[in-house]
Amino acid sequence: MIRVNKHYAKLQSSYLFSEIAKRVKAYQAENPAKKVIRLGIGDVTEPLPLACIEALHKAVDEMAARATFRGYGPEQGYDFLREAIAQNDYRARGAQINADEVFVSDGAKCDTANIQELFDDKITIAIPDPVYPVYVDTNVMAGRTGKVSKGRYKGLVYLDSTVENGFVPALPEQPVDLIYLCFPNNPTGATATREQLAAWVRYARDNKALILFDAAYEAFVRDPALPRSIYEIEGARDVAIEFRSFSKTAGFTGTRCAFTVVPKSVMAYTKKDEAVALHPMWNRRHTTKFNGVSYPIQRAAEAIYSPEGKVQTRALTDFYLGNAALIRDTLADLGFAMTGGENSPYIWVNVGKDSWKFFDKLLKRAQVVTTPGAGFGRCGEGFIRISAFNSREAVEEAMQRLRKVIK
């Protein structure tokens, strides 16, 4: 008799963004004449940079001729893209990452979800709260947690991110094995200093722990004092795996390309305390279960690192940060406290009340979609996340609507 994975039954009833989509769809069905402005899920709206489009077209043309046609490519990614990433995103900033330590994929969500397959099911996991739901849900699916109680799964160590600590959680008070960190943070938009990340690296080294560092929004960092990679911190190569995405950097949400960095020096341990390199394990997992990103898409991603591509992607992220500034200014005028929106495309707004009710209020009275903070964890209650990803016209109209309904 075929049996289901019993751990799926522990999952809360609906994935956050699916629930939002369901509520928005129901509202639009009842109010078809109302124009809804989406500042919730964080999907981009602006076209791909011209350098990427030109590279994409050229690569498609190559596929039309026998002499330049490409069939199956390397699952880890083509060397031209892996080297461009290693040189421009890491070595240029003093982080010694080699091209063969870069694994190209179709999205950071998939990689942050799949990486946990490398680890024992009895490890102790530290999860920030609020947090991107994928980190939690995939460990629930794998059987590493108990049932949910009062919004939290038993067996996880939750790290509270609050106004008081600037939404940068303190080190765990107990030993943990696996640590999820995300900076600039989703959902809070908070950033971590070099000193704060250095403390996490020291903790991981002292406890033989591993940091999973989600840097999907690093391209929005404008403060030169802030690190854009955990590998800018001394010793991080030995205790951290980093995830990045081109989705927000260059508008690749519909094009799909990302990468994960697994240094050859990063280790996990057997029950006998024997060190095992994670690089060959991830290589085996990646090449066994992933088909690779298509050649034209990888050429488009490579173009991000050309002189023209760098200028164009900077302009693209500047555009969304301009939206974020407009949102911040409006909310400040309305008397709200917030974080994010300066080195991040997300604004985390303290609404001081039930976040789902506030979400519904903005949807029904202003036709503006946000994301309720409660969907990111217990510490997210009382907040909403507003995304800067939309056209300038749409953001301006949304802010005008908020001024009318929030008094």
pTM of the model: 0.97
Distance (Å, whole) CA 95 – CA 104 = 18
CATH for the 53-307 domain, from 1.10.3720.10, 1.10.10.10, 3.40.50.300, 3.40.640.10: 3.40.640.10
Domain with CATH 3.90.1150.10 in the chain: 6-47+310-405
How confident is the model at residue 65, as a pLDDT? 97
How confident is the model at residue 15, as a pLDDT? 75
DSSP H helical segments within 184-294, as ranges? Answer: 194-207, 278-289
How confident is the model at residue 353, as a pLDDT? 86
Residues in CB range of 94: below 8 A, 6 or more apart = 232
CATH class of 6-47+310-405: alpha beta
Q: Can you list the positions of beta strands (E) in 53-133?
A: 102-105, 125-129
Collapsing DSSP to helix, strand or coil, 23 comes out as: helix
Full DSSP string of 293-310: --HHHHHHHHGGGSHHHH
DSSP H helical segments within 63-144, as ranges? Answer: 79-85, 108-114, 133-141
At 55, which helix (H) or strand (E)?
helix 50-62
How confident is the model at residue 301, as a pLDDT? 98
Residue 314 and residue 322 in contact, taking contact as beta carbons nearer than 8 Å: no
- Local confidence pLDDT in tens for the 407 residues of the chain: 999 999 999 998 677 888 899 999 999 999 999 999 999 988 999 999 999 999 999 999 999 999 999 999 999 999 999 999 999 999 999 999 999 999 999 999 999 999 999 999 999 999 999 999 999 999 999 999 999 998 899 999 999 999 999 999 999 999 999 999 999 999 999 999 999 999 999 999 999 999 999 999 999 999 999 999 999 999 999 999 999 999 999 999 999 999 999 999 999 999 999 999 999 999 999 999 999 999 999 999 999 999 999 999 999 999 999 999 999 999 999 999 999 999 999 999 999 989 999 999 999 999 999 999 999 999 999 999 999 999 999 999 999 999 999 97
How confident is the model at residue 201, as a pLDDT? 98
How confident is the model at residue 272, as a pLDDT? 96
Please give the C-alpha separations between residue 365 and each of 20, 36, 126, 264, in angstroms, as whole numbers: 16, 11, 39, 53
Domain with CATH 3.40.640.10 in the chain: 53-307
Distance (Å, whole) CA 98 – CA 264 = 9
Structure tokens at 232: 């800018």
